[in-house]
Amino acid sequence: MHAYRTHRCGDLRLSHVGETVKLSGWINRKRDHGGVLFIDLRDTYGVTQCVVDEGSPLLAHAEQWRNESVITIVGKVRARPGESANTKLPTGEIEVYIDEADVQSAADVIPFQVAEDDGAGEDLRLKYRYLDLRREKMQKKIRLRNEVTASIRRRMIEQEFQEFQTPILTASSPEGARDYLVPSRLHPGKFYALPQAPQQFKQMLMISGFDKYFQIAPCFRDEDGRADRLAEFYQLDVEMSFVTQEDIFNTVQPVIEGMFEEFSDFTGTKHKIEWLPHLRYEDAMLKYGSDKPDLRNPLEIVDVSDVFARDDVEFKAFKGVISKGGVVRAIRAPKVSDRPRSFFDKLNNWAQSEGAPGLGYISFSEGEGKGPIAKFVPEAAQIQLKESAGLEDGDAVFFICDQKSKAEKMAGLARDAICDAMGNREKNIYKFCWVVDFPMYEFDETTQKIDFSHNPFSMPQGGMDDLENKDPLGVYAYQYDCVCNGFELASGAIRNHKPEIMAKAFGIAGYGKDVLEKEFGGMLNAMRYGAPPHGGCAFGLDRMIMLLADEPNLREVYAFVMNGQYEDQLMNAPSDITPEQLKDLHIKLNVPKEIKTEKAA
């Protein structure tokens, strides 16, 4: 007989009755029923009920075993009496009567329950992550991660993609987020950077003549923590040569759709999958107030600035903003005019919690406009408002007024808040869409200069001609995002493969040729020796798993992960290092005083 097991804890059925078996696993639960001890033995494959019978010489010993101790048992499989069978458990028709038992590893008193959710906080769960990961719910999500990764790899290889690993230690480059820097011992005063993405390497693979590349790539960004963002994350990184934007969509879309279809019932409810027509960035911002809209929400935003700019409209709060270049955005809420006043008051309170003065509205019932703004909008203006917003009797319309960028953002938040208040967000569906035609540049209010709005390596849609003859803010790029249910799942672009266009593009953003050569010299030089037209994208692996698992927090779909302050509670990272290590790296610390004080305290 095997040293530890003849079967796994999820294997045994009625067909095994009468057999002598050996099982190993963790004690999930113990129950003492008047001298008969029941032990639920668990491994990653399932749970088997084991019994120490009354009068057994093992009984006194077994009563001392703590939950989560690892034991090996030998015993005979018996059928459970009919009334005690557990039909919810695959092994629920049998039990194993223990004849022999060895404790492989005794557990101390555990800091939280494993067999059930006892409400332990995130920091405690992360500190004892190996215990947290023993829970069935966590094991299911981590297995999902493995299966999703395997599914993606298989689908990419079937499309003749080749997987390459790109360097982890590389050069720092200005790509939008802060780099994690690694000091070099052999080159004093110089630093490596952990890659924010394998951007330049995958482009150079195309220049090297490899036609289709992919990688499940680790990426590192020193940004503030959020529920949907981590310092270290993984992405399906893709690049292809001799392709148009549509070629990329047509190639990766079946991979993503097939993978989502494969796991669409992970939560127990089958989800439909729908791809909506491409959405221009400007239309996304106008209609949904976001470049990653949740299209399960049926509400749309419209511009009604011209209604409130009319001479016969006397609402000064909006008129004053419009006179300074502001806009008024409206959101139609169908058939809510008969809702109680509390419905509207809660939305107003929500808007105030977001820093807005409130959320003005007009509701229409029996052809008459009512609400706090209605008296300022005469009948003729109300008729125009109905036409602009597509209003019908019984509808209400909510307003946001501010400068364009702020109005877009607030309208997007309000759209979701109103949808949630109405309870009409579509369920059990993944709604995908490609957002296209991103502007190449944006005006940075902080620095008061033109800068890249998205990916600096993108090809402008009009090439050199647009860069030389158009207002930079009117130049569009072959840039695109894939969005699903309110998340940006992927970002990508057709790349700029011509050095002269790249030099011009960076020059408009204020980066001189010297900066370009210093920061991106490797790729720029490669382009001078014949670069194919190429493009690609990167899908966030973690966010896709979040959606499939219906988890709002990325930390719930990783095995080992840091908390929201980017502290590893399990391994105590980041940690202090010794003076000898600092000396090896030629580094002296200059820690801010407040941090020194906190450590001393």
- pLDDT of residue 298 exceeding 70, the answer is yes
- pLDDT of residue 67 exceeding 50, the answer is yes
Instruction: For 11-57, give the DSSP string.
Output: T--GGGTT-EEEEEEEEEEEEEETTEEEEEEEETTEEEEEEE-TT-T
Q: Which domains does the chain have, with CATH numbers?
A: 14-105 (2.40.50.140), 139-276+434-557 (3.30.930.10), 297-425 (3.30.1360.30)
Q: pLDDT value at position 82?
A: 79
Q: pLDDT value at position 103?
A: 97
What are the backbone dihedrals phi and psi of residue 38, each rounded to the nearest 5 degrees, phi first?
A: -105, 130
**Region 171-193 average pLDDT:** 87
- pLDDT of residue 159 exceeding 80, the answer is yes
Task: Supply the mean pLDDT for the chain.
Answer: 93
- pLDDT of residue 226 exceeding 90, the answer is no
Higher pLDDT, 27 or 593: 27
Q: pLDDT value at position 417?
A: 97
CA torsion angle 187 190 192 196 (round to 10): -170
Q: Look up residue 428 and give its two tokens.
A: 């059990």
Half-sphere exposure of 20 (CA within 13 A, CB side): 5
The single residue listed with the structure tokens 């749970």 is: 47
- Could you give the CA distance from residue 107 to residue 103 in angstroms, rounded to a whole number? 10
- pLDDT of residue 601 exceeding 50, the answer is no
- Could you give the CA distance from residue 589 to residue 559 in angstroms, rounded to a whole number? 33
Q: pLDDT value at position 174?
A: 63
Q: pLDDT value at position 454?
A: 81
Give the highest mean pLDDT range of 161-175, 277-291, 513-527.
277-291
Residue at 486: amino acid letter? G
